[in-house]
Structure 1
Amino acid sequence: MIANGNGRIVTTDVLVIGGGEAALRAAIEARRKGANVVMVSKGQIGSSGSSAISDTIHSAILSPEDSPDIFYQDILKGGKRINRPELARALAEDCTARVQELSEFGIELEFERELVTPGHSFPRRCYHKAGLGAHITRRLREYAQEIGIQFHEKTWIVDLLNEHGLADTGPDRLPGSGDRICGALGWANEDWIVFVAGSTILASGGMGRIYAQSDNPIDVSGETIGMAWRHGARLQDMEFVQFYPYRLVSPVNLDLYTKLFSNGAMMRNLQGERFMAGYPRKELETRDVICYQMFKQGKVLLDISQVSDSDLKATSPRLHGLLAKGYAGELEVQPVEHYSIGGISIDQYGKTSVKGLYACGECTGGVHGANRLGGGALTESLVFGARAGFAAAEETVLQTPDFVTKIEQELRHRKPPLFFTEEGKQATAAIRKKVQEIMWNQVGIERSAAGLAEASVQLGQLAAEAEPYLPLLDMVRAAAMVARSALERKESRGAHQVIDFPGERDEWIGNLMIEGEELSFWPLLNYAAPKRNDAQPGNLLP
């Protein structure tokens, strides 16, 4: 580390930006390959981000009749057949090995042998008995420290660093140049910190908090996706945002588990009708189907009259405790934003369209198509975290001493970012609230062409207001690209439901890609469907 009185410089082989399960798995794999690895996180590594508050559900193929081919088809069917085939294949092929190897890190998962998660053909649920993701991520943190990974916590990444140095950073940078990424520019303890790296991995989560109603942590706000786009990274499937149907919002906020509904829980509208009764799997349909039906009902109430006391206590102890104290009122459930399906476009090794830049986890797109199956997020974090970490370590390019000296000189003249001033904090609070309202009301569960067009204009205006405040600008731009892509896709598919264009349309079987200012449609025929084992971990990981 170099300190010059005006900021610090940290050099490393592989830089991992993020602090959750995907980031930790990527960092561990890179370190196992012999690379020096630095992790950077806004919060505490292993205790922040969505994976730390998750319900620990992973997917693995453990039933005798099950197979990667069957799981692959389930993923495609759930994603409405617009998943990137090579990514879906990698997830199906690698999932079991990645889940089972958690035991090497001191993490043991239980296998649910009876419950079939919506959209899956066989039981595949693996979970930690404690029921909270932090029990997994904190152990991964400990393992990462044991093998020598360096942590920088409470550090905001303000921008990426490319081969031209600090002069080519900031809001005025034109997107789409695709210069090699050589690290990142951060802010910690009221000072700049520059990370110079041979490879950089983005693993800092999705965009949940660009919506007014979300079960994501407050720091998951999409700026990484906007930042990657500004440096030339291709984005895809930005129109697809998953909402979670099993959210109790009154009398308390609480995520409910699908097992509660397999044990007899039902959803009813204000007329007392079980509105999912006409669907084959009732309240265990895929999330896109349930959320849209809930939206159309308005207020939805949870009926647990057919759930036994022992099942309720086992599957939802907090709800059981509330009722045990005498609560006898309504139990209202409502969909909330849950997962960013679209994001940075990657190949099956986590490579983006920009040299030196890799990505994994929820900040990426392409794996899940138009809808994600339950248990896919954490599994994806392990599978593509390992792949990205391996590739980044294999392809790291050491920076020269002259480059480091150049950064040191430029850093002396770098002004503090406005984002962290009192002015910046007030602007962020005001603009962020407006973005959340626009996204929830106009780019939510049900959309209209007019609403999306209006949202695009409004978000463009907010981006102009946010321009002095990186990384707020990147957050607003990420939201704007969701609205722009949603306006472009003239059909209803999976998590994207537009009243002007009901139903799926064959001409839209493919992916919307954003690169620079260009938005283009890539028909799925452009992709060669992978054969089995093309994406086997043996081709990439030892």
Structure 2
Amino acid sequence: MKLKKRIETDILVIGSGIAGVCAAVSAAREGRSVLLTSSANTFSGSTFYPGTWGFGLVGPDGEEDTEELLETIRTVGSGMINEKVARAFAEGLNSSVDELEALGVELMKPSGDASGEKEYIPCFDHKHRRWRGLTKKNLLRSLPSILEESGVKELPFFQMTEIVMNDGRASGAVGVLNRKDTLYIAAKAVVLASGGLGGLYRRRLTTDDVDATGTAAAMRAGAEAVNLEFMQIMLGFVRPAFKTIYNEKTFFASRFTDREGNPFIGRYLPFGLKEQEVLDARSLHGPFSSETVSRYLDIAFSKEMAKGNTDGMVLRYDLERLNSGSEFVKEYFRWLKDEKGVSAEEEIILAPFMHASNGGIEIDENAKTSVPGLFACGECTGGMHGADRIGGLSTANGIVFGMKAGRSAAGYAEDKELVEEAELEAFNIADSKEKLEALRETMYRDAFIARSSESIEKVRDFIGRMELAKGRGTSDSDYLDSNRLLSSVEMARACIEAMDLRKESRGSHYREDHPYKDESLGKMIRVRLKKVRLKKGEPIAAFTGGTK
């Protein structure tokens, strides 16, 4: 059906985490009218996730450190980066964070006595950098007035379903407002800041509005994705305080057992490797990585949970060791007690959770995608991070490329016209919510920590058997749920194709059947969609994977 434009704006920003907000403010400061939309309330997504105390922002420790940081990004990413994008990122870190602070956002800084503590060395890094801390409380205190002063308009609870294309360029978006009102927003340029792919997994350390819809819509519009096989998997609380992020700086005082109180990590270690060596290595980074002996901890969790059919393993802290912890560790436990009501004396059940995407829509150094008029920033993008990512660079990525996306979109929109109407195909897939949950369970079981040709084929077979026939839409709410399912299926297929192509273990990508790195595969995998007709249902996306 055709929809007439009901709202128009120069720049449409989809997503209101830190990347979307930075994009909106930057575009508005260039003199453009800006509409900031969000599928939930304004200020949502991973930036405002309640399961963590806040986020670190790292940058070069002086101009002379920029090249060293870039080399570390390259090394930690195992070469899986876009050099131009990574350089623009490293060179723009400090100035972008300083600009955010100048707008009025209060940033934390380590005290003089604590600045040299090893806990302030970012995950996967080897030295201290410039460090700033960003908390949800400080953001919510400052961002509303920043948006108001910049003239940015807000539209919460608008769930985008498709990017509107006209004459080969992005010209707005269609979606549903408040789950009951179909809407076309016309725009001269679109900025996608919709977050990562956490919604593909049953267990995820993200808010529920972070799903695959934005990335899938961009790919349907013609954008390519890169590094989809690389994602951050972290330990999180099952109970108490479900979905709270476990702090890796506390590994030194952590004791893990099965439900019967028996140590289990040693069951999965090679001969001669001690459990404390694994814990010491694992304490250097929050996310899972296949690169060091630290991998055996996460593999042990995964295997033990599958074998025992249990929802998690037991953590108890060694209180004597914990009391000798640093300022950083003590601040974490103060937050844990005050915000989550959890004390270090309690028994905690932990499990691996999907946390963040290292890959996504490919952008250039100015946040442009391959689709004219479509720009992207934040966790929905790829290229600036690789197989592993230095801690403190995910949120910083949203700030740097959010500002770049806003400015680039503002420049692009200068001579563009608005499009009066758009096409929307409303449809309904039966039992879409139940099917999405089944897909998430399958991805968590077979395409998570330990992957193999056999497990990937299980996901492929599951998707092939799904009934995805499109029926006539019965309500806007049914259409939203069906679109989310279809988008999740498309992106799950994209991810497993990338996982299958990478027949090696590299960074966060671990293949049980290919447990070692293969230097001949030291290339980025790009994935794009094409339409095919499956045996069951209407056409959905298939994928061509290639390395470049």
Q: Which TM-score bucket, shorter chain as reference?
A: 0.7 to 0.9
Any idea what the Cα deviations from partners look like across 1:496-523, whole Å, max 9, x if unmatched? 1111111110111111111233523334
Q: CA deviation at 1:236?
A: 1.1
Measure, in 2, the Cα distance between the counterparts of 1:400 and 1:251: 53
Alignment of 1:152 with 2:142, yes or no, is no
Could you tell me which residue of structure 1 aligns to residue 125 of structure 2? 120
Could you tell me which residue of structure 2 aligns to residue 18 of structure 1? 15
Distance 1:252 1:61, change over 3 A: closer
Q: Answer with 318-327 or 456-465: which moved more.
A: 318-327
Aligned ranges for residues 506-517 of structure 1 at < 5 Å?
506-517=519-530
Distance 1:475 1:282, change over 3 A: closer
Question: Match for 2:45 among 29, 49, 59?
Answer: 49
Alignment of 1:521 with 2:521, yes or no, is no
Q: CA deviation at 1:60?
A: 3.2
Point out where structure 2 has 5 or more consecutive residues left out of the alignment: 267-273, 305-312, 473-481, 531-542
Q: CA deviation at 1:418?
A: 4.7
Partner amino acid for 1:187?
V
Contact 1:250-1:333 at 8 Å conserved across structures? yes
Measure, in 2, the Cα distance between the counterparts of 1:238 and 1:285: 20
Alignment of 1:85 with 2:110, yes or no, is no
Q: CA deviation at 1:435?
A: 1.1
Contact 1:259-1:315 at 8 Å conserved across structures? no
Measure, in 2, the Cα distance between the counterparts of 1:325 and 1:464: 43
Measure, in 2, the Cα distance between the counterparts of 1:205 and 1:199: 19
Any idea what the Cα deviations from partners look like across 1:300-347, whole Å, max 9, x if unmatched? 634333011886652222555799999855333322110011211111
Q: CA deviation at 1:135?
A: 2.8
Measure, in 1, the Cα distance between the counterparts of 2:284 and 2:314: 16
Q: CA deviation at 1:443?
A: 0.4
Distance 1:303 1:393, change over 3 A: same
Could you tell me which residue of structure 2 aligns to residue 346 of structure 1? 363
Contact 1:294-1:335 at 8 Å conserved across structures? yes
Measure, in 1, the Cα distance between the counterparts of 2:232 and 2:296: 11
Aligned ranges for residues 279-428 of structure 1 at < 5 Å?
281-285=281-285, 287-289=287-289, 290=294, 293-297=297-301, 298=304, 299=313, 301-305=315-319, 306-308=321-323, 313-317=330-334, 319-320=336-337, 330-396=347-413, 398-400=415-417, 403-404=419-420, 407=421, 417-418=426-427, 427-428=431-432
Alignment of 1:198 with 2:188, yes or no, is yes
Alignment of 1:265 with 2:253, yes or no, is yes
Partner amino acid for 1:105?
L
Could you tell me which residue of structure 1 aligns to residue 165 of structure 2? 162
Could you tell me which residue of structure 1 aligns to residue 502 of structure 2? 489
Measure, in 2, the Cα distance between the counterparts of 1:432 and 1:271: 35
Distance 1:75 1:268, change over 3 A: same
Measure, in 2, the Cα distance between the counterparts of 1:249 and 1:106: 36
Measure, in 2, the Cα distance between the counterparts of 1:349 and 1:497: 32
- 3-state SS in 2 of match to 1:284: coil
Partner amino acid for 2:403?
A
Q: CA deviation at 1:205?
A: 0.4
Q: Answer with 433-442 or 67-76: which moved more.
A: 67-76
TM-score (norm 1): 0.82
Could you tell me which residue of structure 2 aligns to residue 59 of structure 1? 57
Q: CA deviation at 1:292?
A: 5.2
Q: Answer with 187-196 or 277-286: which moved more.
A: 277-286
Distance 1:219 1:522, change over 3 A: same
Contact 1:302-1:333 at 8 Å conserved across structures? no
- 3-state SS in 1 of match to 2:59: coil
Could you tell me which residue of structure 1 aligns to residue 539 of structure 2? none
Any idea what the Cα deviations from partners look like across 1:116-154, whole Å, max 9, x if unmatched? 1222233336444xx742532562343112111111111
Measure, in 2, the Cα distance between the counterparts of 1:195 and 1:230: 18
- 3-state SS in 2 of match to 1:464: coil
Q: Answer with 15-24 or 280-289: which moved more.
A: 280-289
TM-score (norm 2): 0.81
